[in-house]
Structure 1
Amino acid sequence: MENKRKVDSKNKAPFFGARHVQCILIFLGTAAAFTQRVNLSVAIVAMMDKNSTNPNFEEYQWSEQTKSYLLSAFFWGYFVTQIPGSQLAHKFGGKITLLLSIVLSGLLALLTPLSVRLGDWQLLFALRLCQGLLQGSTFASVHTLLSKWIPAEERSSLGTFCYSGMAFGTVLMMFVSGWIASSTFGWPGIFYFAGILSVIWGFIWYFVGANTPSECKAMTEAERLYIETAIATTAKPETENEQVTMKTPWLKILSSVPFWMILLTQSTYAWGYWTLMTQIPSYMKSILGQDIQSNALMSAAPYLADLLLTFVFCFLSGFLIKRGYISVVVSRKLFNTIGFWVPIVPLILLGYMGTDRSELALILLIIAVGVNSAGNLGFLINHIDLAPNFAGVLMGMANSAANIMSLLAPLTVGFIVTDAKNVLQWRIVFYIASGMYFVGNLLFILFGQAKIQVWNYPKTRLPQRDERVGI
């Protein structure tokens, strides 16, 4: 009878419904958040080279070390609020915490040009740090929302789609940055674009977003039943308020080997991802000799490949799981391996490129960054596999550790690359990133899991096996 109810509710669920609308909004929210993170990486090239932007705007003579401080500033704040932000999302729901993190940091993006004029790089550093503090709850909020909205069999496709907003925001920012910097807006327009986009998204999210299906009025009863029935065996509480009052099992989480594998894998991924994210524009200009407009387009191309390949990997993962060809745990490890180990060779080869091989260097970057998106179907949604009730908390803890790497990566580049035109120094940077990817995935293959942990459940409930996801 219970199985029949599951099947019936699934058949009645609309092909496109409220859960898809929520995912689209989350996708756009993560995109807006990433336009704020990436804007400085592309704008700083124009800020330090008057010939590559509108000449009416000031040029700043910052050293490579100062530049590395500025590019890492966001992560100093981002690291601090990961765990507190996850607790806020767990207690109050993901809607309000996601709204505040993106909109408030977007308002600071609007103030960025003024801060540089008033306080040079020191005030800019402080502002970027504050943006990081505000965005510390972003991904914990997204994980909290996904655990309430997305059934297990749709987690690979819809969950990964939401996080592909990271690549979309990056592509969007890099595509428009060259044009904006050369227009009458100059480099300040890059920050205005990110800020305005975030505020507009926040207005829409406030009225349409919802913490849970029960809070969403614009959905059919059939879809609501489908979602709640599908999630009931993993995360649904006994009472309406049990979920928000459930205490976090800190000791059990900290003694969980599968969680530690996510944490370590996510940390190594962060090193490689943010090394490329923050340094590609500088690498393009210094080693490949590209100006701001061609630099922006070439820098965006790898992330466009990231976005497109994400959809390909989502379809492939969903197809393999739903047809029963592979289990969830095999899918997580397979795609994580593709995302981590395939980019290693292109990254190493990048250290041997020069201005005469700019086309080949671009192809290598497209492969490295594009295929890296497969990792989103591995470790990135594995938190929800282990503990749907504490998915946001797990993400906050893992992301806190990962952002130590995000912070250290640009600082390490600044320490190694003292001469931005020295390809030998860049070669060391790419070797380190490749090593991180190799070790991270090896640990995930050996010790990673995708089954729900016993500590996911309140003491009043016993864990039940979810037969639908093949675990």
Structure 2
Amino acid sequence: MVADQKLTNEQYEILMKNSKIVDNHGPTIGKRHIQTLLVFLVIFMNYVMRVSMSIIIVAMTDPNASINKDIPTYNWTDKSLIMTSFMWGYMVPQIAAGYLATVFGAKWFLAGTLFCSSLSGFFIPLVAANLGSKGVIAMRIIQGLTQSFMFPSVHAFLGKWVPLQERSRLGTLPYMGSAIGVITSMLLTGVIASSWYGWPMALYLYGGVGLVVAVLFSYFCASEPDLHSTITKEEKYYIQNNLCENGSGNTKDIPVPWFEIFTSLPFWALIVSQIGFSWGNWTLLFETPIYMNHVMKFDLKSNSVLCSLPYIAEASCTMFYGFLADYLIVKKILTIGRTRKIMNTCGLLLPAIFMFLLAQCNSDDAHKAIIYLVLIGVASGAVKSGYNVNQIDLSPNFAGVLMGICNGLSAAVSSLGPMVVYVVVTNEEDTSQWKLVFYIAAAVSIVCLVFGIIFGSGSVQLWNEGNKRFRENYQQVPLKA
């Protein structure tokens, strides 16, 4: 047998009878853990650069932000446009990104997105000085375009590396990079921007470190177990034969069933659930520093620390939700679908309630506002074990494609969240205007959650094995639903 050949169920059963390989578990700490950790670093660095602008934009427009008065500042009135411009680029190539990562492997797309995003961020100070806010908007669009390949590639990657029994926790680990990246960016950017070196140093630092991580990732990562040079046979067989519910890791070159995907109600439930979360998340992520600065009157250092608290809470709770979800599934306490719906309910309904309460705060209720933001973070971590891994549940073979579609459509719709702030909040110190922003975000979350609960699923779909004509031609047995 060729060492890197994928096994059929029959071949695997013969192998198991003649070896000491155990089917129901792999190495406690194996290559799959190292690979997911590498992906974590890519997401982490991309999020550091993505989110840092929400703090940097405050420093770029505040002459008193840095103790060094020679640091350039600008009198820009289009701050919300600068923040949302990232989304304009981010939503464009998502579907193509998922397809390409599925066909050609995720490794180089993940490395490329970090390399290009780091390079774009590195040049923002130069562009700001010479082209003004419109130049910064252009660079943010470029960053969005490059980072649009990240999550579809991550899902294509996880679809090859993460066995079903570990999906919630191992599938959650890389995505913790987003929360920890936000925390790091919020804490560190405020300190750097208020120091003698000012906001440009933050962009130089993040861009430089990002380039180094991209190189390290390129060297140590492999798109799938077959391409990893040092993985043990035991771990490789364990992964490949536990990617689906029936233990069959079908990875043959099959056509993408586009029609079946776009007419699948469980898949649309997944998209709508992601829109519900993303709307509120992007609104808070990009606009909270401005809200805390102008409404709650916190200075830059305090602002960056306080804005990081919700993401510290989210990161602290995310793995708990992952272990809980896997426990419920593996012990057969709940089905995969019901487990995902419970996690989505925690991650969408509770933040909506806390956003409603946040809307009641005024400038005298700063501490209440902070508590509600932290509670939003605590609840939000649940979605990493909800819709965020549901693409792999529905179709391990096309997880990257599904993530590309989900991320692209959700980004397109969710970009309206920061745009609502641009339109509604004409006076950044007016609490009544911010109240409307939070009400809208809470309403979107609840409506999307209801749709997801009604039509969502955790079962592998028939089209995971290709479109109907392909399945009939190859007489494939449908996967267990």
1:440 to 1:49, Cα distance in 2 relative to 1, 3 A: same
The corresponding residue for 1:173 is 185
State the 1:355 CA deviation. Answer: 3.1
Find the residue that maps to 1:289 and give its secondary structure: coil
Residue 31 of structure 1 aligns to which amino acid in structure 2?
Answer: F
The corresponding residue for 2:331 is 323
Residue number among 15, 20, 23 corresponding to 2:36 in the alignment = 23
Residues 235, 457 of structure 1: 8 Å contact kept: no
Residue number among 69, 75, 82 corresponding to 1:70 in the alignment = 82
- More displaced, 385-394 or 316-325? 316-325
Work out the CA distance in 2 between the residues paired with 1:56 and 1:218.
52
Find the residue that maps to 2:136 and give its secondary structure: helix
Listed one character per residue, the Cα deviations across residues 366-412 of structure 1 (whole Å, up to 9, x for unaligned) are 00122112112111111111111111111111111101123211111
Residue number among 120, 123, 144 corresponding to 1:132 in the alignment = 144
- 2:67 is aligned with 1:56: no
State the 1:110 CA deviation. Answer: 0.5
TM-score, normalisation: structure 1: 0.94
Please identify which structure carries the higher helix content. Answer: 1
Find the residue that maps to 1:40 and give its secondary structure: helix
Residue number among 401, 406, 412 corresponding to 2:414 in the alignment = 406
Residues 49, 121 of structure 2: 8 Å contact kept: yes
Work out the CA distance in 2 between the residues paired with 1:181 and 1:391.
39
Residue number among 452, 456, 462 corresponding to 2:476 in the alignment = 462
Work out the CA distance in 2 between the residues paired with 1:9 and 1:189.
52
Work out the CA distance in 2 between the residues paired with 1:219 and 1:177.
39
The corresponding residue for 1:108 is 120
Residue number among 291, 303, 317 corresponding to 2:299 in the alignment = 291
Matches within 5 A, 1:204-243: 204-231=216-243, 233=246, 236-237=249-250, 242-243=252-253
State the 1:217 CA deviation. Answer: 1.5
Listed one character per residue, the Cα deviations across residues 19-64 of structure 1 (whole Å, up to 9, x for unaligned) are 000111111111111112101111101111111224221221111x
**Structure 2 unmatched ranges of 5 or more:** 1-9
1:3 to 1:333, Cα distance in 2 relative to 1, 3 A: farther
Residue number among 436, 451, 461 corresponding to 2:444 in the alignment = 436
The corresponding residue for 1:122 is 134
State the 1:318 CA deviation. Answer: 1.8
State the 1:234 CA deviation. Answer: 6.4
* Count of residues paired in the alignment: 460
State the 1:308 CA deviation. Answer: 0.6
Q: Give runs of ≥4 in structure 1 deviating > 3 Å.
A: 1-8, 232-238, 463-466
1:399 to 1:247, Cα distance in 2 relative to 1, 3 A: same
State the 1:191 CA deviation. Answer: 1.4
Residues 454, 463 of structure 1: 8 Å contact kept: no
Matches within 5 A, 1:361-372: 361-372=369-380
Residues 12, 222 of structure 1: 8 Å contact kept: no
The corresponding residue for 1:14 is 27
Residues 234, 388 of structure 1: 8 Å contact kept: no
- Superposed CA RMSD in Å reads 1.9
Residues 149, 227 of structure 1: 8 Å contact kept: yes
State the 1:461 CA deviation. Answer: 5.7
Residue 225 of structure 2 aligns to which amino acid in structure 1?
Answer: P
Residue number among 260, 281, 285 corresponding to 1:277 in the alignment = 285
The corresponding residue for 2:5 is none
The corresponding residue for 1:186 is 198
- More displaced, 166-175 or 308-317? 308-317
State the 1:349 CA deviation. Answer: 1.4
The corresponding residue for 2:359 is 351
Residue 388 of structure 1 aligns to which amino acid in structure 2?
Answer: P
The corresponding residue for 2:6 is none
The corresponding residue for 2:154 is 142
1:85 to 1:234, Cα distance in 2 relative to 1, 3 A: farther
Find the residue that maps to 2:364 and give its secondary structure: helix
Listed one character per residue, the Cα deviations across residues 337-387 of structure 1 (whole Å, up to 9, x for unaligned) are 001001122111112223322122111100012211211211111111111
The corresponding residue for 1:37 is 50
Residue 379 of structure 2 aligns to which amino acid in structure 1?
Answer: V
1:49 to 1:463, Cα distance in 2 relative to 1, 3 A: farther
Q: Percent identity?
A: 34
Listed one character per residue, the Cα deviations across residues 288-321 of structure 1 (whole Å, up to 9, x for unaligned) are 1100000000000110101011011112112222
